[in-house]
Amino acid sequence: MQNSFEDIIEKLDNHELWDFPGGVFPAERKTLSNQTPIVRAAIPKHLYVTVKQHIGVEGQIIVDVGQKVLKGQALTKSMNPFAVPIHAPTSGEITAIHKHVSAHPSGLPELTIEISSDQEDKWTKLYPLIDYQNQPKIQVLTAICDAGISGMGGAGFPTHIKSSPKKDVDFLIINGIECEPYITSDDRLMREHAWQIRQGIDVLYHLLQPKHVLIAIENNKPEAIEALQVACRENANYRVCIVPTKYPAGGEKQLIQVLTNREVPAQGLPVDVGVIMHNVGTCFAIADAVFSGKPLIERVVTVTGESIENPGNMWTLIGSPVAHLLTHYEYKQTGQKRPNIIMGGPMMGFSVTSDLVPVVKTTNCILVPTDNEIADNNEQSCIRCSACADVCPASLLPQQLFWHSKAKELDKAQEYNLFDCIECGACAYVCPSEIPLVHYYRIAKSEIRLEQEDKQKSDKARVRFEKREARLIAEQQIRDEKHRLAAEARRHAMKSNGNTAKDKIAAAIARAKAKKQSTNIVDEKPIELAEVPLANKSEQDAEADASTKVSSSNQRVQAAIARAKAKKAAAEVIIAPIGMKVDLDADDLTENKCKTKQQNNVVLNSSPAAKVNSTESNIAVEPTETEEQQIDMKKHRIAAAVAKAKAKKIAKIEATIKENKPS
C-alpha cells in the first residue's frame, strides 16, 4: 500500500526522505567542469540533425536538398501524437538528407538532415504564447509539441504526452539530481537559469494541476539548491528537496521512491502512483517555447575528462558533431593510446564510433578520459561474487541477466526482468571481473526488440493473409450462392414452362374434343330423332315425323347440291374473251358464281395494257386481238357453254326434287 499524500508531506516537512535499494558512491569528478559559466561556441560549419531523437515515431521530412532554411524552422512534421518535430539549429542550406552515424551505442547510421550553416544565424518568425494561462490547455500542449520538446534527462519521451495524463497527479517532481559522475550541465543550468526553470515549472503546474511540486536536487549542488529556493519561494506549493548523493538517485523510479516511498509497478508508469517527473532542462525548454516561441535547437552539454584542456559546459546546437566540441575545448590525445570519446557519463554513457556523431536532444555530456582515468575493459570470468546484485537499485539479479544475455537465452533473460534494468551501470561499476554487464544487457534488449518487431511484422502479415483468405472464401461463398440461386431459378422456370406447355397441349386437346363433340351433336341429332320408335307416337306424329324425315332428307340433298355448286363455281375459272364484251346472265349462274367470275376477270386482266370497265355485273375488256387470243376466246366460249349446260342440268334436278316434295 502506497503512502498517502498527507503522510508524504508530513515527512517532507520534517526534512526526512526514504531510500532505494542498492546504489553506489563513485568519485564525482564534477568540479572539473562546474567551475565556469556556460559558454557559447562558434556555429559549426556542418550540422547533422537526426530525424528521430525521441521515443515515438519520426515525423515526415518537409525540406529538400538545396533548400535554404532559417534558424528554428521546422524540418519535419507529423499528425501522429507520438511524433515530435526537429528544427534547423541555425540558418543555412540543406546539403544532404542521408543516413549518418548515430548517437547510439551501436553507432548504426540513421536518417539525418545535413545543414551547411551560413553563419548568419538568422531566426525564423517565432510565435510566443505569453498569456498561456488564458489559453486552452491544448493550445499550450500544442506549443510544447511544435517546439519539438522531449525529455532531456533520459529516454526522450515526448513532453506534451507526459504533460497530459488521464489520471490525477499528486506530485510533480522536477529532477535536478544529475547523479552520474563528471556531468554538470544541469547543475550549471540551475545555477544560471533558475528563474527560467521556474517559469517552465509554472507552465507544467498549469497543465497538470498537481497537489504539490517537489524540486529534487542532490546535496552536492549547494549553489543550484539556493538558486531554485530563491526562484520558487513565492509559491508555497513548490518545495526544493535536498536529496543525499548516491548513485543512481536520479533514476525515475529511484527518485520517486526516495521522495514519496511509492513504488512504480513493473511495466507501469509514474502516473500510476500519482507522480509526473520532468527534468530541469526540459522545464527550461518549455519556458523557451511558451514565452519566446523558440523550438528546442540547443542544449547545455558538459565537455569534460582529463583529455580535455579546459573542461566546462557549452550551449551546443543540436546536430553539432562531437569533433566541433572537442576542438572548442582543446582535446589532447596524449593521455590515450587510442581515441576514446564517451557520450554521456562513465556509468551510463557509451563510446562513440566516430567524432562526427552529432549531439542530440538527450546528450548531456561528452567525456574524454585518459587511459588512467577510466581503465579499458579487461573482462574476466564471472566469479559469482554477487556484488552486482547487492548494488542493483532495481533489485534484479545482474549475474543471471548476464549469463542469459551472453548465451542468447533471451526468454530466460526476460524472465529475470531484463527490461526493468535501468542500465545504470552500478553492477558493472562494482564487478571485480570488469565485465561490461550493461553492454550485454543492451545487446540482449536490442535483439529482443528486433525479435518483437519481426514478430509484430509477421503477425501483421499473418493477420493480413488470414483476412485475405477470409475475404476470398466469403467472395467465393457469395458467388456460389448466386450460382445456386440462378440455377434454382432456371430449374423453376423450366418446370413452369413445361407445365405451361403441358397445359397448352391439354387445353388444345380439350378444345379439339369439345369441337368434335359439338360437330357430332349437329350431325347426329336428326338421326337420333329418326331412330325414335314409331310405336310410341300417334299417327299424326308419325306422319309428321315422316314428313319431317323426307323434308330433312331433301334439305340435306339441297344442301349437298348447293355445296357442290359452290365448289364447282369456285373451281371454275371464267376468263372473259379478250376484246369482247361478255354479258353474264344472273339466271345462268348463282350469285357466288358471278362474284367469282368477276374477281377472276379482274385479277387476270389487270395488266397495265388492259383497260378494265366494270358496271354492275358486266365487265368490258378491250385488249389487242391476236390469233392466239382468238383461240383462247373460243376455248372460253366452249367452257361457258358447258357451264351453262351444267347449270341447266342442275336446274332440272332441282325441279324434279320440287315435284317430289310432299305437300
User: Which spans of this chain sit near ligand SF4 (rule: CB under 6 A)?
Assistant: 382-388, 391-394, 396, 398-399, 401-402, 421-427, 431-433, 435, 437-438
Q: Which is nearer to ligand SF4, 237 or 386 (CB)?
A: 386
Q: Which is nearer to ligand SF4, 61 or 269 (CB)?
A: 269
Give CA–CA dist 158/300, Å, rounded: 19
Q: Which is nearer to ligand SF4, 60 or 245 (CB)?
A: 245
Tell the smallest beta-carbon distance from residue 12 to ligand SF4 (Å). 26
Tell the smallest beta-carbon distance from residue 412 to ligand SF4 (Å). 15
| Strand duo 342-343 + 238-243: pairing | unpaired
Tell the smallest beta-carbon distance from residue 372 to ligand SF4 (Å). 23
Q: Which is nearer to ligand SF4, 22 or 148 (CB)?
A: 22
Give CA–CA dist 112/358, Å, rounded: 10
Tell the smallest beta-carbon distance from residue 255 to ligand SF4 (Å). 14
Tell the smallest beta-carbon distance from residue 405 to ligand SF4 (Å). 10
State phi, psi for 278 to the nearest 5 degrees.
-130, 150
Q: What is the enclosing helix (H) or strand (E) of 469?
A: helix 437-530
The residues, any chain, with a CB within 8 Å of residue 72's CB and separated by 6 or more, are 87, 88, 123, 124, 126, 294, 295, 297
E strands, 594-644, where? 612-615, 618-621
Q: Which is nearer to ligand SF4, 249 or 396 (CB)?
A: 396
Tell the smallest beta-carbon distance from residue 430 to ligand SF4 (Å). 6
Q: Which is nearer to ligand SF4, 329 or 416 (CB)?
A: 416
Tell the smallest beta-carbon distance from residue 402 to ligand SF4 (Å). 5
Give CA–CA dist 232/238, Å, rounded: 6
Tell the smallest beta-carbon distance from residue 229 to ligand SF4 (Å). 31
Q: Which is nearer to ligand SF4, 411 or 524 (CB)?
A: 411
Tell the smallest beta-carbon distance from residue 178 to ligand SF4 (Å). 17
Tell the smallest beta-carbon distance from residue 24 to ligand SF4 (Å). 8
Q: Which is nearer to ligand SF4, 240 or 413 (CB)?
A: 413
Q: Which is nearer to ligand SF4, 280 or 391 (CB)?
A: 391
Tell the smallest beta-carbon distance from residue 380 to ligand SF4 (Å). 8
Instruction: Select from 180, 247, 190, 193 the least CA-distant residue to 222.
Output: 190
Task: Give the count of beta carbons closer than 10 Å to the beta carbon of residue 65.
Answer: 12
Q: Which is nearer to ligand SF4, 326 or 396 (CB)?
A: 396
Residue appearing with cell numbers 341429332: 525
Contact 396, 422 (CB under 8 A): no
Tell the smallest beta-carbon distance from residue 439 to ligand SF4 (Å). 10
Give the CB-side neighbour count of residue 291, counting CA atoms within 13 A: 15
Instruction: Select from 174, 365, 209 the least CA-distant residue to 285.
Output: 174
Tell the smallest beta-carbon distance from residue 319 to ligand SF4 (Å). 30
Q: Which is nearer to ligand SF4, 385 or 638 (CB)?
A: 385
Q: How many residues does this entry show for the chain?
A: 663
- Bridge partners of 619? 582, 614
E strands, 405-511, where? none
What Rg do the C-alpha atoms of the chain give, in angstroms?
60
The residues, any chain, with a CB within 8 Å of residue 318's CB and separated by 6 or more, are 47, 49, 53, 86, 89, 296, 297, 298, 299, 358, 359, 360, 361
Residue 169, C-alpha cell as written in the block? 497527479
Q: Which is nearer to ligand SF4, 386 or 500 (CB)?
A: 386
Task: Give the count of beta carbons closer than 10 Å to the beta carbon of residue 11.
Answer: 16
Contact 298, 89 (CB under 8 A): yes
Q: Which is nearer to ligand SF4, 82 or 403 (CB)?
A: 403
Contact 150, 281 (CB under 8 A): no
Instruction: Select from 377, 339, 23, 27 the least CA-distant residue to 182.
Output: 27
Distance between alpha carbon 569 and the CA centroid of its chain, in Å? 93
Tell the smallest beta-carbon distance from residue 477 to ligand SF4 (Å). 55
Tell the smallest beta-carbon distance from residue 163 to ligand SF4 (Å). 27
Residue 385 Rama label (left phi>0; alpha psi -120 to 50; beta): alpha
Question: Which SS3 state, helix, strand or coil, does residue 318 take?
Answer: coil
Give CA–CA dist 197/127, Å, rounded: 20
Q: Which is nearer to ligand SF4, 369 or 398 (CB)?
A: 398
Contact 276, 134 (CB under 8 A): no
Give CA–CA dist 189/177, Å, rounded: 12
Task: Give the count of beta carbons closer than 10 Å to the beta carbon of residue 192.
Answer: 17
Residue appearing with cell numbers 358464281: 593
Q: What is the enclosing helix (H) or strand (E) of 366?
A: strand 365-367
Q: Which is nearer to ligand SF4, 21 or 244 (CB)?
A: 21
Question: Looking at residue 292, what DSSP letter applies?
Answer: I
